[in-house]
Amino acid sequence: MHFSPHLHHCFDNCLFIHPPKIKTLKMKTLLVTFAALLLCHSITAQSLPKEVKEQLQKNLLKNTSNEVCKCVDSINTFNKSKAEVAKEINACIKKQVTTYKLAAELLAIDTGSEGKKEIIIDISENENSPSFKKYYYEIERYTMDSCAAVRSRISMDDKQSSKSYSSNKKAQEYYTKGVDEAGKENYTQAIEYYKKALEIDSEFVFAWDNLGLSYRKMNDYDNALMAYKKSLEIDPYGSMPLQNMAVVYMFKKDYPEAIKAYERLAEIDKNNPETYYGLGRLYAFSLNDYEKGLDNMCKAYNLYIAQKSPYRTDAEKNIQAIYAEMKKEKKEDKFFEILKANNISTE
């Protein structure tokens, strides 16, 4: 099993940035007879106290997220890229959007002082419509914060090269044991198993990568770098060790080397959002270059959307954090200028 080093940090009071505007197609309008049924039984939003209504909405979102989480937990990540896994997570969320939207809008119904009346609810079947995105992102944000399966699945990248795994059965057994121990956060034992696997097969790329990750988890950054560099000697196009190297250099506060690692990653895969996400955090929060950080984070945000990755929420939170810093410096105009240049709207 292969893990991404994706770093994220949650910020409160997020400015929810929407993706680039897309012309909204006409939505199919449905007469919801269920709404009439609710009204007949006097279970209307108007008849419910505000606090009860809010709790029902929270429960609805929680239950919807639980269904998404079950779906995501069933995804097999073996030999799939992060982009491929992200598309499957996207499908899990999309399955819940229409039902969630219907229930949420029924809860919001207010019949007014006139009492019972026909209720029309518009349900968009177009994924690019503002209505669909609104409810999709509500589910996505909550699920990213509450479902461990989402982050564990999206952090795995078992896309193979010819030397990713070992053909030696014993080396593979030691590697699997290492993965199991790392999963239990027993990194010392995991390191021993990875080393045994590498003693048998010194070109076992995933063993080098996971050895580096285990060292990193134990804050042994020099040995982590050694493992990642060895992996890259065997497979110079390995994106995972490069991502992890950049993170290790950031922990070591060696920002020039971190930038070099990200730039090499961009050469290998210019559409890898992790490159721009990492550079965005590095420039904004390590070098206090908020404009450069924002530009990179916007690029990451757009790529996450294009790849239907739930990591979009992490980029969104970082954009909000950068906004807070630029606001302190009275650079709000520059902030929105950079967003506009990246075709991102806050409307």
> What are the distances in angstroms from CA 197 to CA 14, 30, 200?
45, 60, 5
Q: In this predicted structure, which of 35-49, 233-247, 291-305 has the lowest mean pLDDT?
A: 35-49
Instruction: Tell me how far apart the alpha carbons of residues 106 and 43 are, in angstroms, rounded to a whole number.
Output: 10
Using the predicted structure, report yes or no on whether residue 182 has a pLDDT greater than 70: yes
Contacts of 344 (CB under 8 A, 6+ apart): 17, 18, 19, 20, 298, 301, 302
The pair of structure tokens assigned to 248 is 């290790």
Q: In this predicted structure, which of 34-48, 50-64, 129-143, 193-207 has the lowest mean pLDDT?
A: 34-48
**CA dihedral of 193, 195, 201, 206, whole degrees rounded to 10:** 80
| pLDDT for residue 326 | 98
Q: In this predicted structure, which of 116-125, 298-307, 325-334 has the lowest mean pLDDT?
A: 116-125
pLDDT digits (tens, 9 = 90+) for 50-64: 788 888 889 999 999
Q: Supply φ then ψ for residue 156, to 5 degrees.
A: -85, 140
| pLDDT for residue 15 | 40
pLDDT digits (tens, 9 = 90+) for 250-293: 999 999 999 999 999 999 888 999 999 999 999 999 999 999 99
- CATH top class, domain 169-341: mainly alpha
Share above pLDDT 70 across residues of the chain, in percent, rounded to a whole number: 79
Which ranges of the chain does DSSP label H, i.e. alpha helix? 33-40, 50-73, 82-107, 130-146, 148-155, 169-183, 187-200, 205-217, 221-234, 239-251, 255-268, 273-281, 290-306, 312-328, 332-341
| pLDDT for residue 166 | 87
| pLDDT for residue 46 | 53
Confidence of residue 312 (pLDDT cuts 50, 70, 90): very high
Find out whether 155 and 310 touch, Cβ atoms under 8 Å. no
pLDDT digits (tens, 9 = 90+) for 30-80: 334 344 434 444 444 456 787 888 888 899 999 999 999 999 989 887 767
Question: Model's pTM, two decimal places?
Answer: 0.74
Residue span(s) of the chain under CATH 1.25.40.10 come to: 169-341
Tell me which residue of 342, 205, 284 sits closest to 7, measured CA to CA. 284
Q: Is the dihedral of CA 227, 230, 236, 238 positive or negative?
A: negative
Using the predicted structure, report yes or no on whether residue 178 has a pLDDT greater than 90: yes
Instruction: Tell me how far apart the alpha carbons of residues 71 and 95 are, in angstroms, rounded to a whole number.
Output: 10
Using the predicted structure, report yes or no on whether residue 83 has a pLDDT greater than 80: no
Tell me which residue of 308, 312, 286 sits closest to 299, measured CA to CA. 312
The pair of structure tokens assigned to 145 is 């914060």
> What are the distances in angstroms from CA 340 to CA 50, 298, 322?
38, 10, 15
Find out whether 317 and 280 touch, Cβ atoms under 8 Å. no
Give burial (CB, 10 Å; 0-12/13-18/19+) of 196.
middle
Q: Count of CB atoms within 10 A of residue 260's CB?
A: 15
| pLDDT for residue 239 | 87
* R_g of the chain computed on alpha carbons: 23
Please state whether 14 falls in left (phi above 0), alpha (psi between -120 and 50) or beta.
beta
Confidence of residue 126 (pLDDT cuts 50, 70, 90): confident
Instruction: Tell me how far apart the alpha carbons of residues 63 and 118 are, in angstroms, rounded to a whole number.
Output: 28
Tokens 């209504």 — which residue?
53
